């Protein structure tokens, strides 16, 4: 199949290139814009309590003003606020309200804090119904601009925080992050390819080709999101960039290394490319299939952000695979050996390389290498025991010098940390009878007595008096572990139990949303992980015709995942003192490390099978496979890890955690898992690794006696010469 595809592409390269250009132009011109959302509540299913509470608010309090932003005032000299200062706060608030800024319903001055250090004004804004609407962010930008001249002539300083202000600061940071990630990814790919191949053409090849398919993939994803009404998480664009360039470069490398190997074996450029597509096609198709299936498993998630991320990344990988099998061979076949210019390394294989020595060592002592690599990954995996989830995606990911973060710190000098985003409690009648004033007052008293609750505002009754609304300020920041535990373990149970007969209590708000997300993520771990693992094992079983190999290959991937999570926890929580790791990081890490790590395992184990089919013993096959596939896997791993590492340039702790974990996981997958653990364990297991299909048996009597190998794992002098696949061709 792949041999026929290779011949078709090589014979009609211009037609293939033209077809891609036309298809890309059509998709880009017709596709809608890819939009994203940072509103966590919009990703939860309707049956969660926080979403049911939001429905109550929308039904019974449609005109209820939401706290969109908070202006935090304090004296410039850090002293206590005076009566004159409070008068200035009232005047500034009134002037800002009179400016009739769109989305600003009211600017209401609050009380001075008990310690007289802080006073606030609440900026009321309507409830956000469209997560893609940035009108409230624009309102905060205008408020900040108008606030500065209002403070002239006073002794006050002020800053604006709250959800709309944090969203504005996060949007600004994301734009810079996207630019840094895009530029950084391209620079790293170009530099690393220059070092590896010493060819400017190869260095620019992925940038040009993936630059063509990237907007095409983005357009297809946007069209799919619109067609199936899916929401994309706000980090999807940065992830798409690194996935497209990282995975795309991997597939280009797999092809080029095999193409160069064919040329060194004496193939002409055209037949060499056909040979490369034939030998690599099955491996990268299976590898891409594993990645696509793993990403597609995210559709089983209960969280909308993961459910939409899976198909988006699967589409990106599928488009990249098609390009790797058609567009890349077409372009390279036109260039021929000029693709390696000015380097001459394609003409002869260097002798005594590090990979040849590593392969020879693994062939001699596979048990030692398997044990050492397993212990290394296992030791790192112990760090995962300290993992904690963090749900404050906005606050914890923003640089501390952003205005919303500075103002939040100032607010906490005088008020409970939960003041920026109160929790909402709704007491609704389950009959036609109204909620009475004594019931509402008694329920407020019971809420106030809950540990972790700072204060509870007086209840507001709905027009038909069947629902009472309570604004509950927690003692801890809304997204902190303490606040989540207060809502989950204290406030919700108390509200449910203390609700008067004939009524029902629901707890909503941002903290409640995080509690429900935590519950949803725990559920997803128990569903997505096993399904993705099972699907990958099926693909491995079909590729290798074996029931044994998939088990130890997945074992190696599991060790790699544990090592990655452990190292990330140690770096960011123990050493970096961050409150926790992004709550969905283990899911993303699992899918990337498992799926992309399986890429390298598939490439290595395919080469192991190929060498075994040529008559080599399991030990010799392992040594030769590492010698030939080591440079490919090593180069691909370094480049893919480098592209993921660019996420750390964003100055955003969420993307930094993602960048470190994915780049570290890829390096573990390439240099420890695929290059050492898998070939060493395969050599130890021997022929039984291929049971029951015995895919290592010689085909059609080819191969002759097993060739001998020298200390560097090179085929010895004898009756044959080595082909590009490591085969022995009779003279």
Rounded to an integer, what is the distance from CA 200 to the centroid of its chain? 31
Distance between CA atoms of residues 362 and 672, nearest Å = 12
Residue 515, token pair as written in the block: 């509690």
**Angle at CA 646, nearest 5°, toward 226 and 42?**
30
- Using DSSP bridges, classify how beta strands 66-75 and 156-161 pair: parallel, antiparallel or unpaired: antiparallel
What CA–CA distance (Å, rounded) separates 360 from 715?
Answer: 12
- Residue 240: closest CA among 389, 19, 36, 29: 36
| Res 378: pLDDT | 93
Give the Cα-Cα-Cα angle 201, 204, 208 (nearest 5 degrees). 120
Q: Give the whole-angstrom CA distance, residue 538 versus residue 522.
A: 25
Alpha-carbon distance values, 476 to 12, 117, 418, 452, 482 (Å): 66, 19, 5, 7, 6
Helices 304-322 and 200-227: angle between axes, nearest 10 degrees: 140
Is residue 509 within 8 Å of residue 422, measured between CB atoms?
Answer: yes
3-class secondary-structure state, position 659 = helix
What is the model's pLDDT at position 517? 84
* pLDDT value, residue 714: 39
3-class SS of residue 320: helix
**Which tokens hold the place of 424?**
């909402």
The pLDDT, as a whole number, for residue 174 is: 65
689 touches 548 (CB < 8 A): yes
**Dist. CA 397–CA 134, nearest whole Å:** 19
Segments in the chain below pLDDT 70: 33-43, 63-65, 128-133, 173-178, 181, 228-239, 242, 347, 349-353, 392-399, 591, 595, 650-652, 693-731
Contact yes or no for 624/726 (Cβ under 8 A): yes
Distances (CA, A) of 331 to 14, 285, 628: 8, 19, 24
* Separation CA 444–CA 209 (nearest Å): 63
Crossing angle of helices 236-264 and 618-645, in 10° steps, is 140
3-state DSSP assignment of residue 456: strand
How does DSSP assign 457-476, residue by residue?
Answer: PPPEE-TTSSEEEEEEEESS
Tokens of 219: 């357009």
Q: Which position has the token pair 């940065």?
A: 238
Q: Which residues contact 80 (CB under 8 A, 6 or more apart)?
A: 115, 116, 117
In this structure, the strands spanning 389-390 and 581-582 are parallel
Cβ-contact 644, 663 below 8 angstroms:
yes
**15 within 8 A of 290, measured Cβ to Cβ:** no
Tell me the two tokens of residue 158: 């002020």
What pLDDT was estimated at residue 694? 64
Cβ neighbour number for residue 225 with a 10 Å cutoff:
21
Q: What is the pTM of this model?
A: 0.73
The token pair at 531 is 């399904």
How do beta strands 467-474 and 106-112 pair? unpaired
Written as six digits, the tokens of 347 are: 């003409």
pLDDT of residue 710: 40
Radius of gyration (C-alpha) of the chain in whole angstroms: 30
**Contact in structure between 724 and 279 (CB atoms under 8 Å):** yes
CB atoms within 10 A of CB 565: 26
CB 594 within 8 A of CB 536: yes
Q: What is the DSSP string of 515-565?
A: HHHHHHHHHHHHHHHHHHHHHHHHHHHHHHTBSSHHHHHHHHHHHHHHHHH
* Look-up of token digits 């995975």: 247
- Residue labelled with tokens 């055209």: 270
pLDDT given at position 711: 34
Can you tell me the distance from the alpha carbon of 613 to that of 397, in angstroms, rounded to the nearest whole number? 52
Q: What is the pLDDT of residue 582?
A: 81
Identify the CA nearest to 424 among candidates 481, 476, 469, 371: 469
The end-to-end CA distance of the chain, in Å, is: 28
């Amino acid at each position: 199949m792949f041999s026929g595809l290779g011949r078709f592409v090589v014979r009609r390269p211009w037609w293939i290139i033209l077809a891609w250009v036309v298809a890309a132009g059509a998709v880009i011109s017709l596709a809608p814009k890819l939009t994203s959302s940072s509103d966590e509540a919009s990703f939860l299913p309707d049956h969660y309590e926080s979403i049911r509470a939001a429905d109550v608010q929308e039904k019974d309090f449609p005109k209820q003003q939401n706290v969109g932003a908070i202006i935090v005032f304090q004296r410039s000299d850090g002293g206590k606020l005076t009566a004159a200062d409070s008068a200035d706060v009232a005047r500034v608030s009134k002037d800002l309200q009179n400016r009739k800024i769109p989305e600003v319903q009211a600017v209401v001055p609050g009380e001075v804090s008990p310690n007289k250090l802080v006073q606030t004004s609440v900026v009321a804004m309507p409830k956000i119904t469209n997560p893609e609407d940035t009108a409230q962010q624009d309102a905060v930008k205008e408020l900040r601009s108008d606030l500065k001249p209002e403070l002239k002539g006073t002794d006050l300083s002020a800053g604006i925080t709250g959800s709309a202000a944090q969203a504005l600061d996060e949007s600004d940071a994301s734009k810079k992050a996207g630019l840094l990630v895009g530029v950084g990814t391209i620079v790293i790919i170009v530099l690393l390819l220059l070092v590896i191949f010493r060819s400017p053409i190869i260095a620019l090849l992925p940038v040009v080709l993936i630059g063509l398919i990237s907007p095409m993939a983005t357009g297809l994803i946007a069209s799919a999101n619109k067609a199936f009404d899916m929401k994309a998480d706000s980090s999807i664009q940065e992830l798409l960039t690194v996935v497209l360039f990282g995975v795309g470069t991997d597939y280009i490398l797999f092809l080029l290394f095999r193409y160069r190997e064919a040329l060194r074996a004496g193939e002409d450029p055209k037949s060499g490319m056909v040979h490369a597509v034939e030998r690599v096609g099955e491996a990268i198709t299976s590898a891409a299939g594993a990645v696509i299936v793993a990403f597609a498993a995210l559709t089983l998630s209960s969280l909308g952000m993961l459910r939409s991320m899976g198909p988006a990344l699967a589409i990106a990988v599928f488009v990249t695979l098609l390009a790797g099998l058609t567009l890349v061979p077409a372009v390279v076949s036109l260039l021929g050996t000029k693709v390696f210019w000015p380097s001459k390394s394609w003409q002869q294989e260097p002798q005594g390389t590090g990979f040849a020595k590593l392969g020879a060592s693994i062939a001699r002592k596979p048990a030692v290498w398997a044990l050492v690599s397993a212990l290394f990954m296992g030791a790192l995996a112990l760090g995962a025991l300290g993992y904690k989830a963090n749900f404050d995606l906005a606050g914890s990911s923003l640089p501390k010098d952003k205005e919303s973060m500075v103002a939040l710190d100032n607010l906490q000098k005088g008020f409970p940390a939960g003041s920026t985003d109160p929790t909402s409690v709704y007491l609704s009648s389950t009959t036609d009878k109204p909620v009475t004033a004594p019931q509402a007052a008694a329920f407020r008293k019971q809420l106030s007595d809950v540990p972790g609750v700072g204060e509870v505002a007086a209840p507001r009754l709905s027009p038909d008096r069947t629902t009472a609304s309570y604004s509950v300020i927690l003692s801890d920041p809304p997204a902190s572990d303490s606040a989540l535990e207060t809502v989950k373990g204290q406030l919700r149970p108390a509200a449910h139990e203390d609700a008067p007969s004939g009524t029902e209590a629901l707890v909503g708000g941002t903290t409640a949303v995080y509690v429900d997300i935590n519950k949803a993520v725990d559920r997803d771990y128990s569903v997505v992980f096993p399904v993705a693992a099972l699907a990958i094992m099926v693909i491995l079983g079909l590729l290798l015709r074996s029931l044994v190999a998939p088990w130890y290959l997945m074992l190696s991937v599991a060790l790699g995942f544990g090592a990655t999570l452990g190292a990330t926890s140690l770096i960011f929580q123990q050493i970096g003192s961050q409150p926790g790791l992004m709550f969905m990081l283990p899911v993303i890490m699992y899918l990337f490390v498992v799926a992309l790590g399986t890429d390298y395992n598939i490439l290595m184990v395919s080469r192991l099978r190929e060498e075994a089919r040529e008559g080599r013993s399991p030990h010799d096959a392992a040594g030769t496979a590492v010698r030939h596939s080591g440079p490919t896997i090593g180069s691909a791993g370094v480049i893919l890890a480098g592209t993921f590492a660019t996420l750390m340039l964003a100055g955003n702790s969420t993307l930094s955690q993602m960048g470190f974990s994915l780049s570290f996981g890829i390096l573990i997958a390439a240099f420890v898992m695929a290059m050492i653990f898998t070939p060493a364990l395969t050599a130890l297991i021997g022929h039984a690794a291929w049971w029951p299909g015995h895919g290592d048996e010689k085909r059609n009597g080819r191969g002759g006696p097993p060739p001998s190998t020298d200390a560097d794992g090179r085929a010895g002098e004898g009756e044959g010469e080595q082909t590009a696949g490591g085969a022995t061709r009779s003279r």
